[in-house]
Homo-oligomer: A and B are copies of this chain.
Amino acid sequence: MKKNISIVGSGLVGSLLSVYLAKRGHNVTMFERRPDMRSTKISAGRSINLALSDRGIRGLKAAGIDDDIMQIAIPMYGRQIHHQDGTQTFQPYGKENQAIYSVSRGGINMALMSLAEKFENVKIKFDQRCTDVDLRKATAKFHDEKTGENSTIQSDIVLGTDGAFSPVRLALQTSTDMFNYSQTYLEHAYKELVIPANADGSFRMEKNALHIWPRKSFMMIALPNIDGSFTCTLFLQLKGEESFETLKDEASQMNFMRNYFADAIELMPTLQHDFFNNPTSTLVTVRCFPWSFEDKACLVGDAAHAIVPFFGQGMNCGFEDCVVFDEMMEKHGDNWKALFEEYQTLRKPNGDAVAQLALDNFIEMRDKTADPKFLLRKKIEARIATEHPNFLSMYAQVTFSPQISYHTAYNEGQRHGVHLDKLANIENVFEKWNSDEVQSVVRELVR
């Protein structure tokens, strides 16, 4: 039974999901709030880099688009830590050749939309702001941002891939009973800055790394772009002693940057301009349940589980949603209610886990990556991974092991932490490595 399906939002997840639906013969129309980014310039300070990793690649592969995307991706093999004293250290993410991949959100989204539009049963309508959804009727209202016209679209199914502030989710909140919902903001916000390429197009820092300037309660990061530039993001509290609030003028701002990011600012010729002209953006975590309404509507991606960006898993989790959604289409055929229900039951624990992983990783990135105790733990973990090839660290489970769920990875990470702390507390642990004191804990850890 072919369905007429409206997808609200042609972002990363909507575009990929449309391909999965199109391959099964459904008629898909995507309604996108923004203009077509393939013919419109993205506004300054909103370029956003994403870290594509194995779960996301798996989603692209199943849709047959992974090769195209890897062309515009830059492998990052580890974290390049910029200490406040100007020294740098490198922390590999995994084994040799294991990497996460820097891609621009715009680049991958444009590629996905173009791939989707190759299917004759997929259409994208731009400048369509969703103003209301009637879940019981599966109708959605749109306001055309260009013409000002309003329209009501009737379809069999409405899928919400409409992001952190999803209008489809708002309909679940305001027109159904028993909808559990939370939106929680960090006290930190972020501002995009840039390190441009050299005149010859070469990179001004190590290309194949994710750069971090950890400063305990705040941090800056930088990811490489294919044009030789780096997109930098400063994560800083909105209020307090050192915060966006106190960096009101050029003097205080330069003083702050010189104090904490001295090695970076000499690479940032447009720093002042960017700082005072780019927007300051907030960071939200959204949790909700259920994700669907009868056989009429369902949320996929950020709309169901918006997370903070610190584990680089937002897009990857959304693509994994699509893979599971496709498996459910295979399993449940025309029974969309059962499909939605099993999809949400399978994905909810993973959405919760990845949300917590992302929050935890903010503290790890901004604070622990510069902490000797944390570095010792990492070294211990790496040695265990070398000696026990079947052992996977929590980071490796999340990032390189799509066969392990986020939920399992999170629980394993909690369990590992207890044992790694024990080992890190043994004085001269590497000297006693083969002692029973050490190995009994290691055996417990790798079981």
Residues of A within 8 A of B (CB): 170, 173-174, 177-185, 238, 282
The answer to whether A180 touches B170 (Cβ under 8 A) is no
Neighbour of A173 across the interface among B180, B183, B184, CB < 8 A: B183
Taking CB atoms, residues of chain B closer than 8 Å to A184 are 180, 182
Q: CA separation between A183 and B174, bound complex, in Å?
A: 11
Question: For residue A170, which residue of chain B has the nearest CB?
Answer: B174
CB distance from A184 to the nearest CB of B (A): 6
* A179 adjacent to B173 (CB under 8 Å): no
17 contacts between A and B (CB under 8 A): A170-B174, A173-B183, A177-B282, A178-B185, A178-B238, A178-B282, A179-B183, A179-B185, A180-B183, A180-B184, A180-B185, A181-B181, A181-B182, A181-B183, A182-B182, A182-B183, A182-B184
B residues less than 8 Å from A177 (CB atoms): 282
Q: What's the nearest-Cβ distance from chain B to residue A94, in Å? A: 36
Q: How many copies of this kind of chain does the complex include?
A: 2
Shortest beta-carbon distance from A377 to chain B in Å? 32
Give every chain B residue within 8 A of A170 (Cβ-Cβ): 174
For residue A182, which residues in chain B have a CB less than 8 angstroms away from its CB?
181-184
Q: A254 CA to B220 CA in the complex, in Å?
A: 65
| B-side contacts of A174, CB under 8 Å | 170
- List chain B residues, Cβ under 8 A from A185: 178-180
Chain B residues positioned under 8 Å from A238 (CB to CB): 178
Contacts of A180 in B (CB 8 A): 183-185
How many Å lie between the Cα of A425 and that of B429 in the bound state?
A: 42
Give Cα distance in the complex from A177 to B180, angstroms.
21
| Nearest chain B CB to A341 CB, angstrom units | 13
**A152 to nearest B CB, angstroms?**
18
Residue of B nearest to A187 (CB): B178
A407 to B182, CA, bound (A): 22
If A173-B183, A179-B185, A182-B184 are given as contacts, then 14 extra A-B residue pairs at C-beta distance below 8 Å, sorted by A number, are A170-B174, A177-B282, A178-B185, A178-B238, A178-B282, A179-B183, A180-B183, A180-B184, A180-B185, A181-B181, A181-B182, A181-B183, A182-B182, A182-B183
Min distance, Cβ A250 to any Cβ of chain B, angstroms = 25
Complex Cα spacing A170 to B173, Å: 10
Instruction: Give bound CA distance, A173 to B181, whole Å.
Output: 12
Report the nearest B residue to A185, measured CB to CB: B178
- List of B residues within 8 angstroms of A173 by Cβ: 183
Taking the closest CB of chain B, its distance from the CB of A303, in whole angstroms, is 15
Output the least CB separation between A308 and chain B (Å). Answer: 14
For A181, what are the chain B residues with a Cβ–Cβ distance below 8 Å? 181-183
Residues of chain B within 8 A (CB-CB) of A183 are 173, 179-182
Query: Who on chain B is nearest to A184 by CB?
Result: B180
Q: How far is the CB of A191 from chain B (nearest CB, A)?
A: 15
With CB as the reference atom, state the residue of chain B lying closest to A178.
B185
Q: How far is the CB of A214 from chain B (nearest CB, A)?
A: 25
A179–B177 CA distance with the chains assembled, in angstroms: 22
Name which residue of chain B comes closest to A177, CB basis: B282
Instruction: Give the complex CA separation of A183 and B288 in angstroms.
Output: 9
Q: How far does the alpha carbon of A122 sit from the alpha carbon of B417 in the complex, in Å?
A: 61
Smallest CB-CB separation from A182: which chain B residue? B182
